Structure 1
Amino acid sequence: MKKFNSSQVNWGVIGAGSVCEKKSAPAMNKVSDSSVVAVMRRNADKAKDYAERHGIPKWYDDADSLINDEEVNAVYIATPPSSHLELTRKAANAGKPVYVEKPMARNHAECLEMIKICEEAGVPLFVAYYRRTLPNFLKVKRLIEEGEIGEPRYVSITINQAKHPDVLTDASNWRIDPDVAGGGYFYDLGSHQLDYFDFLFGPIKEVNGIATNQSGQYPAEDIVLGNFSFESGVLGTGNWCYTTSNTSQKDEIVIIGNKGEIRFPCFWGTHVTLKRDGKEDEVFQFEMPENIQFYLIQSIVNELLGKGGECPSTGVSAARTNWVMEQMVKNFY
């Protein structure tokens, strides 16, 4: 890997849309020795508007111009997954580290190609699975490592979510277009959960699933059921349904051990509940950073500048998540 020859990470952001309003790009200006120096959107007026509102000096309506800007020395790709491979290729060929939104790509093959491109170019590849750095999720990891629930036996995911209001009203909703996103909301949201389990227990070695579209409202799958096993021996199951009633909505992850269990939400809350044999339940509450990707971006900057530590979410780990999702929905596609 080539050495990052700078004392400052100057980000160029491709696709300065909704995710960049609060979740990600503002954090790049808050992390020490990091700043956003240029943004790009295909719509020039929107690119200019974003830059002016966020105090960013330069804006473009062309990705090549941003990537080839000499002041930009790291590229954040915040576009839909269908463009991740090609934009990663261009950034890597320009010798610039790549930070790409999740899911990493539309399919596992594209992920592997992105990894290969960056390895050959000698640049690091990071992916925005930021739950690997958030305090509530790190607490769960510590509880497991400290033996609070004994030996983990199995994990389960349940997501019951009512139909998104934008499904029928927004024709530009790429999250339900498999040609752009790789799948539906399962790819967009379920990827966070599966990646987090990879972080807790290591790679998943076996997986099977069934997916279908029950509502007929869009082309992607809207329900997925899956079973999986980790190399570590832990087993898992997941149920993802994105067309339930409002009264049935649920977001819960459960980790069962031989001495207790841990329960927590992935999206709708930040609490963690620890249950152990013969002891009162403990509930831990956490506050999130204003910009949810702050800690992950901080880890990227620290790694690039040699300030200690490594980013826990890489192209290699993120590609495994794409492989798992692909196995779960392959019957549908």
Structure 2
Amino acid sequence: MGIVLDEVRWGMIGCGAVTERKSAPAFNKIEHSRLVAVMGRDAGKAADYAARHGVPRWYADAEALMADPEVNAIYVATPPSSHAEYAVLALQAGKPVYVEKPMACRYAECQAMNQAASAAGLPLFVAYYRRALPYFLQVKALLDAASIGSILAVNVRLVQSPRPADRNPNSLPWRVNPAVAGGGYFFDLACHSLDLLDFLLGAIVDAQGCAENRGGLYPAEDTVAASFKFASGALGTGFWTFAATDAGRSDSVEILGTAGTIRFSTFAFTPIELETPTGTQRYLPPNPENIQFHLIAAIVAELRGQGRSPSNGTSAAKTNWVMDCIIGVGHESKFAGLG
């Protein structure tokens, strides 16, 4: 898109837990990138965040931050229900946007965000940072080298137990409030796995599933089963539950090919296993201190006209489409394009 920045000066909307270590510190570690302003609805918290992280300015109003002439790119780090609103406003203000994942609560909101980016002639990026992590790039390298032949199928499994906060009906986390998060932990966590599959294996073009609340702790779904099909013809299944006991915890992705199998995890970063008739090889590339570092570096490079981010509004919207199909929200199960 039509923008090239000499230096990327970030304004951050939202200063919650995700920004403390995963993202915000990386903005100042990357050459030609600085975090120059933060915004939080609670002025006291925004001021405290700015003081603790050495950010020059803070705001309690998002539009005031967007209007700051020192800010030339916006990072939206709020819950999903406000992603579309803030992203569209920032794009209309003439500033490229990096938004947390999932891109929005619903696929229709993602479409509106992409339309705003197109109208403004500006890029829109989404925080699917696993696309830039060495761990998952190793998996992609094995697949690109046809290490396991043609892909037949993939199986994703994530089993977790309820968190202590999930058991307090008077103070539930926003991540289990569908009005704020789009759904429950499925939307918060499964989106990473589904986006990775798009990155590793290509587009999912057909998806369906069943979603239920089996634990009864909060309004959102806590158990989801899905089946899907890739454009290549490969098939996939997924199972996610957040209502199990600790004894049943698991985190695995298995990709089955005509000549072998690759196994890895989405969150635990267990050793990647490549199993073929000649034996098993294991790989474990290290993660950066700030987990979003590599993706943010790629975004900065693109904004400076020197590279391309692997995650953007177009790729991320597809993940929302898949999740909507799996939980049965308002779409045909066969993908007809981003529109």
TM-score range, shorter chain: over 0.9
Q: CA RMSD in A?
A: 1.4
2:164 is the alignment partner of 1:165: yes
Q: What is the rounded CA distance, in whole Å, between the counterparts of 1:94 and 1:2 in structure 2?
A: 15
Q: 1:315 aligns with which of 298, 304, 313?
A: 313
Q: 1:203 is matched with which residue?
A: 203
Segments ≥4 residues shifted beyond 6 Å:
none
Q: What is the rounded CA distance, in whole Å, between the counterparts of 1:295 and 1:316 in structure 2?
A: 19
Q: What is the rounded CA distance, in whole Å, between the counterparts of 2:265 and 2:206 in structure 1?
A: 25
Q: 1:329 is matched with which residue?
A: 327
Tell me which amino acid in the other structure corresponds to 1:317: S
Identical residues among aligned pairs (%): 50
Alpha-carbon distance, 1:165 to partner: 1.6
8 A contact 1:270–1:286 mirrored in 2: no
TM-score (norm 2): 0.95
Summarize deviations over 1:89-145 as a string: whole Å, max 9, x none: 110011000000000000000000000011101110000000001011011111011
Equivalences for residues 174-193 of structure 1 within 5 A = 174-193=174-193
Alpha-carbon distance, 1:270 to partner: 4.3
Cα pair distance change 1:107/1:71, threshold 3 Å: same
Tell me which amino acid in the other structure corresponds to 1:292: I
Alpha-carbon distance, 1:172 to partner: 5.2
8 A contact 1:211–1:331 mirrored in 2: no
Equivalences for residues 5-20 of structure 1 within 5 A = 6-20=5-19
Alpha-carbon distance, 1:331 to partner: 7.0
Q: What is the rounded CA distance, in whole Å, between the counterparts of 1:97 and 1:36 in structure 2?
A: 14
Q: What is the rounded CA distance, in whole Å, between the counterparts of 2:49 and 2:210 in structure 1?
A: 41
Tell me which amino acid in the other structure corresponds to 1:221: E
Alpha-carbon distance, 1:233 to partner: 1.4
Equivalences for residues 1-333 of structure 1 within 5 A = 1-4=1-4, 6-169=5-168, 171=171, 173-277=173-277, 279-307=278-306, 309-330=307-328
Q: What is the rounded CA distance, in whole Å, between the counterparts of 1:144 and 1:269 in structure 2?
A: 18
8 A contact 2:302–2:309 mirrored in 1: yes
Q: What is the rounded CA distance, in whole Å, between the counterparts of 2:131 and 2:53 in structure 1?
A: 27
Summarize deviations over 1:288-333 as a string: whole Å, max 9, x none: 00000000000000001012x200101011000000000111179x
Q: What is the rounded CA distance, in whole Å, between the counterparts of 1:228 and 1:192 in structure 2?
A: 16
- Helix, strand or coil at the partner of 1:208: strand
Q: What is the rounded CA distance, in whole Å, between the counterparts of 2:177 and 2:252 in structure 1?
A: 26
- Helix, strand or coil at the partner of 1:215: coil
> Paired residues, what number?
330
